[in-house]
Structure formats: C-alpha cells, structure tokens
C-alpha cells in the first residue's frame, strides 16, 4: 500500500507526539507511525519530573540550569544546545500546563517543584527545587496530554507499524517503508519531511529499565546507510532500579529525601559527593553504588545491591508523592517502603548518543555540518548533544518537548516550501529482502539465544566500569554474534502478528547499535561522565574534548570507522569553561 503525507513522524512517545503536534500546527498533513499504541510508549515510564527554572519554590534561573546541564554532561554538552534548552523549557512546561497536564501543586496553586540529582543553585553551591512533577507519573501524564492534543489537531496515526527502511537518495529523505503487524504487509510512505523519534536501544543490556520495544531500530537503519551515530559510548545507568529486575525507581525518591545505605546502614554518598550527597548526578551515584558492592558492602543474598531508605519520611509523602514506586516495590519485591528498606541496583537506562542533529532537529551526515535534506530527529533517538557524557535527571522529558517541538516546527516549515520528491524505484525491495531472508532462512541459530548472549556480554563488558581488554573482547563477541545472526531462521510462517519475525528483525538492529557503541567506547581512551574506564581513569580534555562519530564501513562488514565532531564550547550568551567535576 502507498500513503502520502507532508510530514511523517516515527514514534509516538513524548518527542514524536510533540513533533507531530507542532507539525500539525504548521498547516501541513501529518501522520505518526508507531510500533505501539501511542499511550503505551516508553515516555510513560518516566516518573520523577521535568526540570525547568520556574522558581516556584525557591529562586532559580535558566543560567543555573544551563550550567548544571553542561557540568552534568562533563563538558561534552554542546553549550548552544544547553542554552536553547534551559530557556525554552520554561515556556514548554507552562504550555503543557495550559494543555491540561495535571501537575502537582504548591499550597499557592503553582506548579510544584522538588530537588533532583545534579540540579543546583548559584552554579553548584546547593541543591535546588527545579523538577516539575505530577506525583511520580510525570511521563505518563505528558504522554496522555500530548496524545489528546494530537487527536484534537487531526494527526493521523498508524499504530503497530514497524519501520523497516528509510528512503534516502541523493542526500534527501523521500519517505519510508513500514511493516504492518496485523496483516504482514509492507506499506510505502511518501513524504516531504520525516521526523525520527522512536527512542533508545536499552534492550542490548541484560538489566534495563527500557521497554521491550526499545531496540534502536531507526539508529540501526540510519547506520546501515553509512551515516554516523554520535557519542554512542555514553550510555547512562540509572542508579536505582529494583534489584534483579531493573524496573525504574525514580530519582524523585531521593529528591523527596530518600537515602542510599549499604549493608551496615551507612549513608555512603557522604563519602563520594559531600555537598549534595544522594542528589549527585546519576553517573557518580551509579559508580558509588558499584564501588560499595565491589568492596563487599552490598546487601541481599548475592550482595549485589544497596538499599534505598524512605522509612524516615511521613507516610503521606510516600503514599502520595511516590505512589507508583510504592506500588512497584510492594508488587514485585513484596516490600513496603513505609517500613522496609528497598534493595536497588543500577540499571541500563538512557542513551546520550544517537542520530546527530543540529539545533532544529535536522539530521547530520558527517562531523562537518553536512545534512540529510528533509530528515529530522528528536528525543532519545537523536543526539543534539544536550546531554553530553551524562544526562541529568528530568532533562530527558525536557529534551522531548523542547527539541520535539523544534523538529516539528522546522519540518513543517520545510514541507511548506518544497514539492514531494520523486520516490526511488523498487522502494520496498530492501525491506522485502530483509523479511524474506528471515522467513526463508534454513539456518539453525536461535534469535533468543543470540539476544541473551548479547545482553549478558554487553552488561559484563561495556557496563558501568569498563576497560580496554573487556571491550576488545566484546568487539569480537558482537562480530561473532552478527555472523551467527546471518543463520537465524524464523519457524512461524504466519503473516499476522508474527512476534518471532519481529523479534528476529529487532535483534539485527540491536546488534548494529551494540557494534557502534562498543567500538566507540573502546576508541575513547579517557573517563568522562558515564564512560568510565579503569585503564584510563582521568578525563583528558586535551585529546578527547570532541564528539565521536561512528560509521559503518559498507565495504567491510563488521568494521566501524570512527570520525569526530567538535564540541560547541559556548552558547549564544554564556560559556562555561571545562573544570574538574566536583559535587
């Protein structure tokens, strides 16, 4: 089947819905394509809040938020992106409020705000209340609100469609191809502009907060065309996932006063971040937790977790502001945060890297400013380099609405100025070949077994602490798994809702993301933000204050070509010089 829209959006999470809404406001026809029903998108898992310097609880300024974002990103953050973000997020939060998002309130009726890791006042002097929240269901509320607004705006939705190819020819995106789960048919979508907002790739790790659908599909498709993925080595492990499960425990739990304790009950973050303690940025807290575990101070049967302590907080705070977390702990661990210490451990959470874009969401084709005409990206899938080497809590939801909005505005603006491009001949050929190879293969390798080996090896070799020896080993493991993947076959012949076929296809995308990530991580011989190397323990600004650009060598499968892109070291009105990162 063939469809035509001025603007196509891939992904119906916060970034995709914000982009679709603003494209629709630009008087163009808009369609949103999603693997899921939109309100099941992973943005709904974000709990703690969206950071903005509103100053509703105490004095705050966008300049402080910009500084925290740059420092939190260990100075790999592009400062022009940080300035745009810190300014625009204030208006964006008020706009969400006016759309009907049910924020929690102060006694005066203003949007309530609470503390979050790495957010400070006076350029690092003390923690500040900056996170705007709707209890601990903030992402869910954003998702519901934006979906309602898109229905009102007339956005067309293609739900349960799995994108299999981007149609890029002569430097211009002309549309895409998607597989309809309910029929097994391929659909061609013709467009003037395409916006990619399909989320991250956290399922490459064994323990992750990410939904099963986050397999890096569009990152892989972009990469397979010889286009770059930026800063893939920087992957954030959230400090607090429910032990063994990885289910997210919001940073808001520490913003409300939760305390991390080791096996002796010690508040150990006082040793690692004496100024803001448990509210240090996520990379620091995650490393601190793993250090406690490595040194024998973990809790639980396997001594591989630490505890989060809420027992000193009033019941009404725990039951009211942290209702979802309380329910998760009771349901999955059989523990009541009102009276029990809850065991947690770091969980793979967020990709700082992805498809490189400029400040308007336009996808970049190299590290020198080249771009793909008509192709935009936003959200976790994109890398405008707001987050640098480590994302601050609450900045992901802010990223979605600020840069999702910008991508929607500029994609619509572009679409109004151009005619539909010619479609490539045999637009569905590559997608059909991909599906036929999996359906018709006679190999005996099992996709589930390969996926399990990938997830376990990535967790062990490219996790929180890394070293060259383990990552060299992982490069070889990924190459071996990719070779085995060529022999994967699908036994289910059905066309409708063939989950075996979809999961096998997703495994190929995951292997690409793991390949780019591992090679990028091995190549960066320093420690910065979430990228922590035991064999190169110090940050090296002389040699490594630059972005990694990982390209697939189309002439030599299995090899990754590394290029670079300069860091924007100043914003439009402010610049923060790289300094030691101390909290």
* Cβ(9)–Cβ(20) below 8 Å: yes
Distance CA 532, CA 538 (A): 9
Distance CA 470, CA 492 (A): 37
**Is 265 marked as binding a ligand?**
no
Distance CA 474, CA 358 (A): 31
Taken as a whole, the chain contains a residue count of 583
**Is 36 marked as binding a ligand?**
yes
**Is 11 marked as binding a ligand?**
yes
Distance CA 3, CA 178 (A): 11
* Cβ(233)–Cβ(513) below 8 Å: no
**Is 65 marked as binding a ligand?**
no
* Cβ(394)–Cβ(131) below 8 Å: yes
Tokens of 27: 């008087």
**Is 380 marked as binding a ligand?**
yes
Tokens of 316: 């009404």
**Is 391 marked as binding a ligand?**
yes
**Is 298 marked as binding a ligand?**
no
| Residue 9 bridge partners (DSSP) | 32, 195
**Is 215 marked as binding a ligand?**
no
Distance CA 541, CA 545 (A): 5
Is 539 a known active-site residue? no
Of the candidates 130, 282, 484, 524, the residue annotated as catalytic is 282
Distance CA 113, CA 56 (A): 7
Distance CA 184, CA 498 (A): 8
DSSP assignment of 352-400 equals S-BEEB-TT-EEESSTTS-EEEEEEE-GGGEE-SSSTTSPPTTHHHHHH
**Is 38 marked as binding a ligand?**
yes
**Is 34 marked as binding a ligand?**
yes
Among all chains, which residue has been given the structure tokens 């802010």?
398
**Is 377 marked as binding a ligand?**
no
**Is 211 marked as binding a ligand?**
no
**Is 140 marked as binding a ligand?**
no
**Is 356 marked as binding a ligand?**
no
**Is 312 marked as binding a ligand?**
no
**Is 568 marked as binding a ligand?**
no
**Is 238 marked as binding a ligand?**
yes
Check residue 330 and report its DSSP letter.
Answer: I
Distance CA 4, CA 16 (A): 18
**Is 44 marked as binding a ligand?**
yes
Binding site residues, as ranges? 11-16, 34-49, 217, 238, 250, 349, 380, 391, 396-397
Binding site residues for substrate, as ranges? 238, 250, 349, 391
Active-site residue numbers?
Answer: 282
Binding site residues for FAD, as ranges? 11-16, 34-49, 217, 380, 396-397
């Amino acid at each position: 089947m063939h469809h035509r829209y001025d603007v196509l959006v891939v992904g119906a999470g916060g970034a995709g819905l914000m982009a679709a809404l603003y494209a629709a406001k630009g008087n163009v026809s808009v369609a949103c394509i999603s693997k899921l029903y939109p309100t099941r998108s992973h943005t709904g898992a974000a709990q703690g809040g969206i950071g903005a310097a509103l100053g509703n609880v105490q004095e705050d300024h966008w300049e402080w938020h910009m500084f925290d974002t740059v420092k939190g990103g260990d100075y790999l953050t592009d400062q022009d992106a940080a300035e745009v973000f810190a300014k625009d997020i204030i208006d964006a939060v008020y706009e969400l409020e006016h759309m009907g998002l049910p924020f929690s309130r102060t006694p005066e009726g203003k949007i309530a705000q609470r503390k979050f890791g790495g957010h400070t006042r006076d350029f690092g002097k003390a923690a500040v209340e900056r996170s705007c929240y709707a209890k601990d269901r903030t992402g869910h509320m954003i998702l519901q609100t934006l979906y309602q607004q898109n229905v009102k705006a007339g956005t067309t939705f293609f739900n349960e469609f799995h994108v299999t190819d981007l149609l890029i020819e002569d430097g211009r995106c002309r549309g895409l191809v998607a597989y309809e789960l309910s029929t097994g048919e391929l659909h061609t979508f013709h467009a003037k502009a395409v916006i990619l907002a399909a989320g991250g790739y956290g399922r490459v790790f064994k323990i992750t907060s990410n939904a099963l659908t986050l397999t890096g599909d569009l990152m892989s498709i972009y990469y397979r065309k010889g286009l770059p993925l930026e800063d893939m080595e920087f992957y954030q492990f959230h400090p607090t996932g429910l032990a063994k499960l990885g289910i997210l425990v919001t940073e808001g739990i520490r913003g409300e006063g939760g305390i991390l304790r080791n096996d002796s009950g010690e508040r150990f973050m006082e040793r690692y971040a004496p100024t803001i303690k448990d509210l240090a940025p996520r990379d620091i807290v995650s490393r601190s937790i793993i250090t406690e575990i490595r040194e024998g101070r973990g809790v639980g049967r396997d001594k591989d977790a630490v505890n989060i302590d809420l027992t000193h907080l009033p019941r009404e705070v725990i039951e009211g502001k942290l209702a979802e977390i309380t329910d998760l702990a009771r349901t999955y661990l059989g523990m009541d945060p009102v009276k029990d210490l809850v065991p947690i451990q770091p969980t793979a959470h967020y990709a700082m890297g992805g498809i490189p874009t400029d400040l308007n969401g336009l996808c970049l084709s190299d590290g020198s400013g080249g771009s793909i005409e008509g192709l935009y990206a936003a959200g976790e899938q994109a890398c405008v380099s707001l987050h640098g080497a480590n994302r601050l809590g609450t900045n992901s939801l802010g990223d979605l609405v600020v840069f999702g909005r910008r991508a929607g505005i500029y994609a619509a603006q572009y679409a109004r100025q151009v005619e539909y491009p010619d479609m490539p001949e045999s637009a569905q050929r590559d997608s059909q070949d991909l599906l036929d190879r999996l359906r018709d293969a006679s190999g005996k390798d099992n996709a589930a077994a390969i996926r399990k080996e990938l997830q376990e090896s990535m967790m062990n070799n490219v996790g929180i602490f890394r070293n060259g020896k383990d990552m060299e080993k992982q490069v070889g493991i990924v190459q071996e798994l990719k070779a085995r993947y060529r022999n994967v076959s699908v036994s289910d012949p059905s066309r409708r809702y063939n989950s075996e076929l979809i999961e096998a296809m997703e495994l190929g995308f995951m292997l690409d993301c793991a390949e780019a990530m591992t090679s990028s991580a091995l190549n960066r011989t320093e420690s910065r933000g979430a990228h922590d190397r035991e064999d190169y323990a110090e940050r090296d600004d002389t040699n490594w204050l630059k972005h990694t650009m990982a390209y697939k060598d189309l002439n030599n499968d299995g090899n990754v070509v590394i290029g670079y892109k300069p860091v924007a070291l100043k914003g439009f009105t402010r610049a923060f010089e790289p300094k030691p990162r101390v909290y």
